[in-house]
Amino acid sequence: MHPAYSVIVFTTASGAGYGLLFWLSLAQVFGLMPVDRWLSFTQIVVALGLITAGLISSTLHLGHSERAIGAFSQWRTSWLSREGVAAVATYVPSGLMAFIWLLGVETSWVIPLALLSAAGAVVTVYCTGMIYASLRTIRQWYLGLVPANYLVLAAVTGALLFALTTAIFEQVPAWVSVACLIGLATAAALKSWYWQTIDADPGKYTAEMATGLGHIGKVRPLDPPHTRPNFVMREMGYAVARKHAEKLRRFVLLGLFAVPAFMVLIALLLGIGAPVFYLIATCVAAVGIIVERWLFFAEAEHVSMLFYGHERA
């Protein structure tokens, strides 16, 4: 599949924003952070800013961006529509929390609003993952590991942002660093499992099945279906060379998981210069998650390519 940069920005930016919102909300619910309304306000502004930037970017992938509002009406059958509904619904409690912290009002409403925000963040990211995991025509996406990876990667990138913004204001609690390390290890394991799974699956659909000519033997095209490139070939036929994919996978393991984990561990053990280490961890992870998401799209193979010379999909 051709990697759409607007969708890459959307899934990475909004994922990190929802992850940050999730950790901020949990910290409020369980009283895990010192009461500092300006820290909380800054964190929720960063979270909502990333979420909004991602959602705006996602509309650029639509043929007619002005029709995006119509997608909300299909929530009964469309994961894309459910994602949109969940995203808008999450703005309500999180926006109210931001307003409360901005005004400095003491109220017990923060706890239920934080619970709703955390739930909204999880549901929205899950819907995003299911947009791809529901597509049977792409074997690399039609997996339960896809939404699981989306959730864990959102939580990890959000945790790094949570640690970074906290370090700018005050000392980072040990539980935040531990959460980052556990999240990075879990995400690395899940991503490796995902890659092993798609590598081990050669594809159950064949050219013989696609053409219905399997009863006469092996099928191969004599001529290409089109004399010049078309939309299907551009969007569905994009492929990344295996040697390049392997290099990019190693980069993801190093940049998205190993280096950030090392930086977080140094910050946890030394306790000094934490903002610098968390900044490095966050920036390197940002590059790593973009490469990971690009690879997620580039490695996907659509069954329509069976009509264009692919033997299996």
For the residues 66-77, what does the mean pLDDT come to? 73
Token pair of 307 as six digits: 């009509």
Distance CA 19, CA 137 (A): 29
Q: Taking the mean position of all CA atoms in its chain, how far away is CA 39?
A: 25
Strongest mean pLDDT among 59-63, 169-173, 237-241, 309-313:
169-173
pLDDT of 261 reads: 98
Burial per residue of 83-120, b for 16 or more beta-carbon CB atoms within 10 angstroms, e otherwise: bbbbbeebbebbebbbebbeeeeeeeebeebbebbbbb
What confidence score (pLDDT) does residue 226 get? 75
pLDDT at position 62 = 64
Residue found by looking up tokens 């808008």 in the block: 88
For residues 299 and 140, is the Cβ–Cβ distance under 8 A?
Answer: yes
Say what the pTM is: 0.93
| Cα separations in angstroms, 93 against 31, 51, 116 | 18, 14, 6
Confidence of residue 183 (pLDDT cuts 50, 70, 90): very high
Domain ranges of the chain: 5-308
Top-level CATH class of 5-308? mainly alpha
With a cut of 70, say whether residue 214 has pLDDT above it. yes
Contact (Cβ atoms closer than 8 angstroms) between residue 147 and residue 6: no
**What is d(CA 97, CA 113) in angstroms, rounded to the nearest whole number?**
7
